[in-house]
Structure 1
């Protein structure tokens, strides 16, 4: 049975923007979405069920798509002001048979079909990642070389005929910028050259799928240290209008970057970012309540000062015996303070990983490192708790204690997310905060460089 969709849009320049979608003979739901950065959008997440769908929601020129149930196949298209065109297809392979009366969208459909023809390469890459293979930037570029070359050639040819100010032309230019880039954290000239090509001044960029990848690629040129990333974040934020719609989305993304446990000095970096770009935003991007929350979070992070005595933790262990964090720390060269939840998927992966990393460091550096592990899941059964400890073998020089639901310790250590790791010295002082296996390794590598005679 043939399905036909006619997509008709009229978007006046003045007042409220409008669009109209007419769908005929569609048995299954069709979803209309925008591709706004971070998968958020200013349009309602509308569902077309064989009826006329209309809206007065203001939209900006950008890339949008239809998603078909139950296959979840997507067809992307470009909408600009005053556009009016039809999009037709015959099922069930919607993209393969799609056509548009609009020349720029016909080109875009052909591009999507070419991109889909290389899906086997994407699948092979996913298999390699699932096997645990790590790709350097250059290795990843080489893996996708055949796909990249074909897509770049198509885009360059298409840009000759595409309307130069259309979102699809902006999208193609930005993708070419990405494909020409292979980040190097020591190539400062390439970093600046890449940044100069990012068209932040064009508001349509936010409404394309490439906005976030451009930011990710730019930050990939910086070392994974908060003070270095701060330079990249400041430069990028300087190009974002602090009152523009894009500001909260860029803020959300950079927030997640700066607090990442794989970043050295992440707590200081995150507190700085919240203070400067959250609390300090003077353009109305955030409400007074949001700013208050940012300020409180930054102050909590500021209270967790390095090289100061850690707040003591005195709790019952798995056998019901009282254990003392400071006394335990005094018995070890270092102590890994771990907050985890037995049912947390991330914990089931990261807790044994950081435990094994710790064992390697102990052996190489000839150190004794204790594990003070806090069960940070109120109400979890003792059986599940003990099963986690046994299953993931977190038993070497380790104490496991249970944190009550109303304990202030959770707030003191900002341990509202699992897992959360700290490193203490023999004096019971915090020497590294919100760490990951990689930042733990970096800490001891830096310690050896600073004190070459220390074993």
Structure 2
């Protein structure tokens, strides 16, 4: 019993010692007698500075810190920032490496780092395949016909099989390593033969259902690699239907998979939030609002300061009233003769609501284009035009209307004086801001240019005509 107690104490002390050590990477550079060396880490596909140190006159440099580095793929960037090597960081964070810039692949030597010795062997294997890879590229470059390109296909398949065989063999021999976790995540589901009775969507459904099977989302190992972001990007761009409701369901399911790792949860929630807040596709702001309301408002974004959190929540609350399908907020304004008008008193099959500024350069181009499209096509489709001035003087506004003959519009100004918080309710942070409303003043489209709006109205009218037949 005493021996067991002593052993447990020894293990505990070693554990504390390892924690106290943090990390220490000793590097020996050939042909360098000064400069600064940098250590960077991936965060998704982007790299961030993790540490730096000066190179001594003998070409030696030590990177060290009291806190352990989070696992992942790191870049050791040599002085001058023209060359670098990739290194793996996982459990063993005290090691040394000798780097010879004349051959970064074959003359780099690690000590006390089994993970990086294995990683180096993989990179050396890839280096050996470069001749075959170059032959393939040369054939493709010289190809003039589809038949010429087809001749390179067997070589591509051969190269792909050799690399995958290497990775599979590595996973079998070293299953617990970080490199095995990376290789597993890089694999894609192999679709079995379609069962009898299944329809043509079987392959898609199987691939999507098993897409995350080999991806380790329960540890932090993949966050600081390009792999996880690449998997997320492909999944949500190619496998999830491009509709807010479908995306929201898959976002929640994806986040649920990350609950055992704070770092994975943090990265996935951040990636989804940023991706859909900045999406160029109309309607995706609904996904952003959902994520903020469900996770940020609930206090789960533990890494944010109160100020950062408030900015994100405020942005979502600004977007929420003007999502596609929402009822447009009441809007009171005054016409060119200062008579009171209201959005809801303008009856039309469709309403194009434009917030614009007569002094805005973009508005000076787009407003006449909107008017031309309205007179040429939209008016006959039952479209009403409402233009609301946001900036500029009354004289500038009236002069622009007269100069460009904007007849047939409902022109409004001074919406703020009527007590409307129109900038928040309609998210007017730039001009022109364009909304398309239906007969009941529900938002059916927004932030469209003239050409996009033309296509959208044509699709709507065609759809409505077909529905009546």
TM-score bracket for the superposition, by shorter chain length: 0.5 to 0.7
Unmatched tracts of structure 2, length 5 or more:
1-15, 56-60, 111-115, 141-151, 192-200, 401-405
Q: Structure 2 residue aligned with 1:31, among 38, 47, 50?
A: 38
* 2:25 aligned with 1:20: yes
Partner of 2:265: 247
* 2:89 aligned with 1:79: yes
Q: Is the 8 A contact 1:12 1:81 kept in 2?
A: no
Q: How does 1:312-327 map to 2 (within 5 A)?
A: 312=331
**Counterpart-to-counterpart distance in 2, 1:185 and 1:265:** 29
In the superposition, the TM-score normalised over structure 2's length comes to 0.63
1:111 Cα deviation from its structure 2 partner: 5.8
Unmatched tracts of structure 1, length 5 or more:
1-10, 126-142, 387-394
* 2:423 aligned with 1:410: yes
Structure 1 stretch displaced more, 330-339 or 407-416:
330-339
Partner of 1:225: 243
1:258 Cα deviation from its structure 2 partner: 3.2
**Counterpart-to-counterpart distance in 2, 1:439 and 1:293:** 31
Give the secondary-structure state (helix, strand or coil) at the position aligned to 2:86.
strand
Q: How does 1:270-419 map to 2 (within 5 A)?
A: 270-282=288-300, 284-304=302-322, 306=325, 308-310=327-329, 312=331, 333-335=350-352, 337=354, 367=381, 409-416=422-429
**Counterpart-to-counterpart distance in 2, 1:315 and 1:68:** 65
**Counterpart-to-counterpart distance in 1, 2:411 and 2:134:** 46
Q: Is the 8 A contact 1:330 1:428 kept in 2?
A: no
1:191 Cα deviation from its structure 2 partner: 0.6
1:274 Cα deviation from its structure 2 partner: 0.7
Partner of 2:10: none
Relative distance call for 1:103 and 1:40 in structure 2 (3 A) is closer
Q: Is the 8 A contact 2:349 2:383 kept in 1?
A: yes
Q: Is the 8 A contact 2:355 2:432 kept in 1?
A: yes
Partner of 2:67: 57
Give the secondary-structure state (helix, strand or coil) at the position aligned to 1:452.
helix
Relative distance call for 1:146 and 1:260 in structure 2 (3 A) is farther
1:229 Cα deviation from its structure 2 partner: 0.6
1:170 Cα deviation from its structure 2 partner: 1.6
Relative distance call for 1:304 and 1:114 in structure 2 (3 A) is farther
1:359 Cα deviation from its structure 2 partner: 6.4
**Counterpart-to-counterpart distance in 2, 1:359 and 1:417:** 22
Deviation per residue, 1:20-67 (Å, 9 max, x gap): 2335425554321111335366xx532343143322232233211123
Relative distance call for 1:86 and 1:243 in structure 2 (3 A) is closer
**Counterpart-to-counterpart distance in 1, 2:285 and 2:437:** 16
Between the two proteins, the alignment pairs up a number of residues equal to: 395
Give the secondary-structure state (helix, strand or coil) at the position aligned to 1:205.
coil
Structure 1 stretch displaced more, 284-293 or 223-232:
284-293
* 2:77 aligned with 1:67: yes
1:71 Cα deviation from its structure 2 partner: 5.6
1:413 Cα deviation from its structure 2 partner: 2.2
**Counterpart-to-counterpart distance in 2, 1:369 and 1:146:** 59
In the superposition, the TM-score normalised over structure 1's length comes to 0.64
